Amino acid sequence: MLLRLVPEFELRRDVLPWLAERGCAAALDTSENSSALYVVNVERNGKIIYTWKGNQRNTHIGLYDLQTKQNEHLYMFEKNLNIISCSINNERTLLAVSFCQYTEEERAAQLLQSVSKYLTLLIEIHPINNVRVLKAVDSCVRVQFLYPVEGRNASRESRLLLVSEDKYIEQFDIHVVAEEEHKVVIQKSGQLPRAKVADDLVWAQWDMMEQRLFYIVPKESKSTLRCVQFYPEENFNSILESHLDIAVNDTQLKLVNFGYDYCQDQDVASKSLKNLQVFTSKAGGLCVCCSLVSDIPHEIIYSIYFLHKGYNKTFTVSLERAESHQLKEVAFMNLDYYVAAYLPGQFLHLLNIQHPDMLCYSLFLTGEDARIDALQNCSIRCPWVSAALDCSAGSLYHVSISDSALLQLLHKSKRDCERLAALHCALLYFQHTEDLEMQIIRWISENLSTCHSFDPIQEFIIASLYCRLCPETENLDKLLPYTSLHDWIGAVPGVRCATDIISLPVLEFQNSKGFWEKLNSNLESVKYAEPHLHYHSKVLRREWHSLSEEREERRTTAYLRNIFENAKKVLSHLDTWDSGARLVPLFEEEDYQQQLLMGLMVAQLKDHLMRHLQYVGKKKIDQIVLDYVANLLNLVHRIMKEVWRRYQLHSCIFCFDERGSAAEFAVFHIMSRILEAANGMCMPLPPGFHTLHLGLGVRCLPLHTLLHYIDSGILQLTETCVRKLLKDLDDTEQNEKLKFSIVMRLPEALGQKVRQYWNHPINANFIARKYVKLLLEKLGNRQCSRPVPERLSFPVEFLPLNYLTNMLAEIENQGVHPYEKQDHVNARFVEETALKHTMTLLGLKYS
C-alpha cells in the first residue's frame, strides 16, 4: 500500500484494557452500547479526550496522553448524557464540556419545555471543585481551549472558544488563582469577559497546531473564506480573506476539528456528500479541498483551490464499477507536500501542493494500488499534518508515503504520468537519502528507453538539486528549476481536470513570521512571475557556443580568466566531498569545454540569484551557486558510480587491444543518454567524461559506427584518449585504418599536439604537408620584387610540384595566416617523407 498508516492511538487497544482494570469494560460489550465509547476531541499537545458510559449509566470523561501512553479519568456525570464537545486547557486545570441533557422524546414525555436542551459547563478539575454554566440553550455548542506555544510557562489565564450552532463564535477569557493545597480555581469576578470572534458563518475549521480559525461567510452566489490567527500573548487578528466560488449550504453550520460528536457526525455523513477542509503546508501552501455532488451516477467530483497559486483544479473521476449505495464523499488528508484525496475501494489521488500546475506531478492510483486497509470509510479528519483520525473507529494514525511501495510502483508502472509522479514524489517528499537515490539510479539505468514523454536523467538531476538546496534558503524554490519539462500534454486515464483562475487571497498582517510570511511570498511570486522566475539555460547555451568558437589567442581575456576561476572553485569544492578513491576515472584531466561551461553556469546563476535574493548577501549566494554546480557534477558522478558498480567494470578501461564486453556496451549506452540529457539542459559534465565515453566507444563500436558517432558529435575526441590510442595500438591494418580515421578528424589545435605520438608514414605525411604549408605561408608573407610567373594551363606529372602549385594557389586565394608558434620539425625527415610518398604513388621502388 502506498500510504503507510501507523496507529498511534486506538480505543480498543489503548483504552479498553484500562477500563477493564477499573471494572468498566463489561458495560461496553453489549450491542446497545456499541457507541458508548468514542473520541470526543484531540488537543494540540497530543492529549486525546474520550467518553464512555459506566455500569450505573454514568457518563465518564477520560484522557489519553500520546507521549506517556497513560490514561487518566477527568470527570464523571451521574446521569446518561450525550457528550457533544469537550476540551481541556493546557495546564489541565479546567475542563469545558458541552452535552445534550435529553432527547426530543424525553422532552415531550416529561414536559421539559422550560429546560434548555443543551448545556455548556466550565469545570475546575485541579482538584474537582467548582462548576460554572457558560451556556444553557436549545442550540448545539462546541468548545475549544486555545493553547500557547510550546515551552511557554504556565499561565494564569485561559482562553476558550465557544462555537454556537446559531452561527457565531466567541472567546471567553478565564482568569484562575492558586489557593492553598495546590488548588486552582476560577477567579470570582462575576461574568467572564468575552469577545465576538466571528458571526454569520456557515462553515468553520480549527487548526489546533497553529491556533488558527478558518471560517466561511456566504456572500450572494459566492463565499468568502476568512482566517483568524490567535496569538500566544495577544488577542486575535483577522488575517486572510479570499473569495471562493463555492456554494455552501447555509441551513446548518458545518464544523471541522471542533471535537467529534459521534452521533451527529454519523447523521451528517449519511445525508450529505460534501466535505470541505482547509490544509496548509510548511512551505506556505494554502489549499481548500471540497468534495462536490455530481448529478451523473458513478461519477465523483472534487475541487482543490490552490490559493497560494491563484487557480482551482476540479477533478472528475469516472468509476468503472460501483454500486450506488457505496458512493461516499471523498476524504482528504494533509501530507504537507501532498494532499491525498481518497475514496475507499476506488481511488487514491496524491496532489502535489508545491507544483500543481501539471497533472504529471500528481499520482492517481486505482484498484489494488489505491487500497488502504485501515481506512474503510470516509469519516476521516486531519487534526494535524500527516495524521488521520477515523472518527467512527476511534483510531488515530500517523500517515506517510511508503518509500518501498513507491519504488515498487515506479518499477511496475507502465504509464509515463505515473512514473514521473512517482519519481518526483520519491525525490521531493523523502528529500535526500543515499539508499533511495541509489535505487532510483538503478531504475533509471533500466528504463532509459521506456520513458517517452520525459527524460528520467534530466528529471532526476534537476529535482535532486531542487530538493537538496531549496530548504536551506528562503524563496530559493521560486528561482531554481524543479523540472526539465515546460509543458505536458498527456492525460491521466479516467480523470478529467478543469483549471480555473481565481483571485488571490488578501492578507493583512504585520511582522508575522512563519507560515504567513511564506504564503505572502508565494502570492507575491504569482503576481510578478512574468517573466518566469525560474533559472533557464537559454542565455547560457548561447554564450557557451559563442565562446567555444573563439580562437585560442582570445582566451586570455579578463572575462575568460574569471570564468575559469569559477570552474576551479567548483572542482575544488567537489574534491572535498569525494576525496576517497574514485571507482570511475573522472575529474582527472583538463577539459576546456566543460570547465568553460561550469564557469559560465556559475556566473549566470549568480547573476540570476543576485537579482532576486539581494537580501541574502553575496557571500551566501556564492556558496549556493558553488553548491548547485558541484552537486550537479556529483550527481552525474553518482550515476556513473552506481552504473559502474552494477555492471562490475574495472576502474580503468583504456585498453584498446581487445573488444568491449556486453557490460561495457550497456554502460556506453547509459553514458550516451547522460550526454544527451546534459546537452538538452546545457549542463556541464565532469572533466574526463568525454574521454571515458570515447574509450568505451572505441572498445564497443564497429569502426563505421564509431566514426558516425564522432561526426555527429555524440563522441568527442579528447587529447587524453587519442594520445593513448595512437601510442598503445600497434600498426596492424585494422588499427592503421582506425588511427587514420581518427587523425583525419582531429581539430587543428589538437592534431598538432597528438600526431607526433604516431610514428607512421601516413602520419608523417600529414606532418610534412603541414610543414611545407607553413614554409610557403612564410615565404608568401615576404615582399618579393620578382614577377609572379603565369600558371601552367596543363598539369605537370610530378606530384610534389603539383602539390606545391596547389598550395600556392590556396595561399593566394585565401590570404596568409601565419602561426605564431609551431612545433620543431626536422627538415631532413620532411624531405624523405615527401620523396617516399611520391615514389609510392608513382609505383616506384624506394630504397
Question: Do 305 and 318 contact (CB within 8 A), yes or no?
Answer: no
Beta-bridged to residue 207, according to DSSP, are: 212
Q: Is the peptide bond before 127 cis (omega within 30 degrees of 0)?
A: yes
Strands 222-230 and 347-352 come out as unpaired
pLDDT of residue 135: 92
pLDDT of residue 613: 87
- What contacts 740, CB < 8 A, 6 or more positions away? 762
Strands 254-256 and 203-207 come out as parallel
pLDDT bracket for residue 548 (50, 70, 90): confident
Question: Do 823 and 770 contact (CB within 8 A), yes or no?
Answer: no
- Cell numbers standing for residue 422: 512517482
The Cβ of residue 38 has, within 10 Å, a number of other Cβ atoms equal to 20
Q: Please state the φ and ψ torsions of residue 482, each to the nearest 5 degrees.
A: -110, -5
pLDDT of residue 380: 83
Beta-bridged to residue 254, according to DSSP, are: 203
Beta-bridged to residue 274, according to DSSP, are: none
Q: Which of 320-324, 377-381, 440-444, 821-825 has the lowest mean pLDDT?
A: 821-825
From CA 404, how far away is CA 406, in angstroms rounded?
5
Distances (CA, A) of 744 to 558, 738, 755: 34, 10, 10
Q: What is the mean pLDDT of the chain?
A: 82
Best CA proximity match to 276, nearest among 381, 348, 122, 422: 381
Q: What is the CA radius of gyration of the chain?
A: 38
Question: Do 277 and 289 contact (CB within 8 A), yes or no?
Answer: yes
What 3-state class would DSSP assign to 238? strand
Best CA proximity match to 293, nearest among 227, 251, 249, 338: 249
pLDDT bracket for residue 834 (50, 70, 90): low
pLDDT of residue 327: 61
Question: Do 238 and 289 contact (CB within 8 A), yes or no?
Answer: no
Distances (CA, A) of 472 to 386, 467, 625: 22, 10, 13
Distances (CA, A) of 64 to 8, 87, 338, 381, 384: 11, 13, 29, 18, 17
pTM to 2 decimals? 0.84
Burial of 466 (0-12, 13-18, 19+ CB in 10 A): buried
| Chain mean position to CA 771 | 59
From CA 88, how far away is CA 147, in angstroms rounded?
10
Query: Quick one: DSSP state of residue 167?
Result: T
> Structural domain boundaries of the chain?
538-716, 720-759, 761-842
Question: Do 646 and 442 contact (CB within 8 A), yes or no?
Answer: yes
From CA 145, how far away is CA 147, in angstroms rounded?
6
Q: Which of 65-69, 155-159, 350-354, 450-454 has the lowest mean pLDDT?
A: 155-159
The answer, yes or no, to whether residue 822 has pLDDT greater than 50, is no
Burial of 279 (0-12, 13-18, 19+ CB in 10 A): buried
In 3-state terms the chain splits into helix, strand, coil percentages (rounded to 5) of: 40, 25, 35
For 57, left (φ over 0), alpha (ψ -120 to 50), or beta? left
The Cβ of residue 55 has, within 10 Å, a number of other Cβ atoms equal to 11
The answer, yes or no, to whether residue 412 has pLDDT greater than 80, is yes
Question: Do 276 and 201 contact (CB within 8 A), yes or no?
Answer: no
Best CA proximity match to 374, nearest among 1, 652, 686, 29: 1
Strands 3-10 and 47-53 come out as unpaired
Burial of 458 (0-12, 13-18, 19+ CB in 10 A): buried
Q: Outline where 513-590 has alpha helix (H).
A: 515-527, 538-548, 558-575
Q: Read off the pLDDT of residues 715-748 as tens digits, 9 standing for 90 and up.
A: 988 888 888 887 877 777 787 788 778 877 877 6
- Cell numbers standing for residue 556: 586570455
pLDDT bracket for residue 792 (50, 70, 90): very low
Q: Please state the φ and ψ torsions of residue 645, each to the nearest 5 degrees.
A: -70, -40
Measure the CA angle with vertex 743, ends 740 and 747; round to 5°: 160
Torsion angle defined by CA atoms of residues 427, 432, 435 and 440, in that order, rounded to the nearest 10 degrees: 20
Q: Read off the pLDDT of residues 581-609 as tens digits, 9 standing for 90 and up.
A: 455 667 667 788 888 999 999 999 999 99
Amino acid of residue 55: N
Best CA proximity match to 564, nearest among 589, 537, 601: 601
From CA 360, how far away is CA 62, in angstroms rounded?
47
Q: Which of 188-192, 304-308, 679-683 has the lowest mean pLDDT?
A: 188-192
pLDDT of residue 843: 65
User: Within 13 A of 738's CA, how many CA atoms are on the CB side?
Assistant: 22
Q: Read off the pLDDT of residues 175-187 as tens digits, 9 standing for 90 and up.
A: 888 877 678 888 8
- What contacts 770, CB < 8 A, 6 or more positions away? 752
Question: Do 237 and 231 contact (CB within 8 A), yes or no?
Answer: yes
Q: How many residues does the chain have?
A: 847
What number is the average pLDDT over the span 701-727? 88
From CA 173, how far away is CA 196, in angstroms rounded?
12
What number is the average pLDDT over the span 191-202? 92
pLDDT bracket for residue 818 (50, 70, 90): very low
The Cβ of residue 375 has, within 10 Å, a number of other Cβ atoms equal to 21
Q: Read off the pLDDT of residues 264-285 as tens digits, 9 standing for 90 and up.
A: 554 444 444 478 999 999 999 9
pLDDT of residue 510: 75
From CA 141, how far away is CA 688, in angstroms rounded?
72
pLDDT of residue 260: 80
From CA 746, how far away is CA 710, in angstroms rounded?
10
From CA 585, how far away is CA 587, in angstroms rounded?
7
Q: Which of 193-207, 712-726, 829-843 has the lowest mean pLDDT?
A: 829-843
Q: Maximum distance among all alpha carbons in the chain?
A: 138
- Cell numbers standing for residue 779: 615565404
From CA 9, how far away is CA 101, in angstroms rounded?
29
Q: How far apart are the first and last CA of the chain?
A: 83
Q: Read off the pLDDT of residues 466-518 as tens digits, 9 standing for 90 and up.
A: 988 888 888 888 899 988 888 887 788 889 999 999 999 999 977 778 899 99
From CA 723, how far away is CA 742, in angstroms rounded?
11
- What contacts 17, CB < 8 A, 6 or more positions away? none
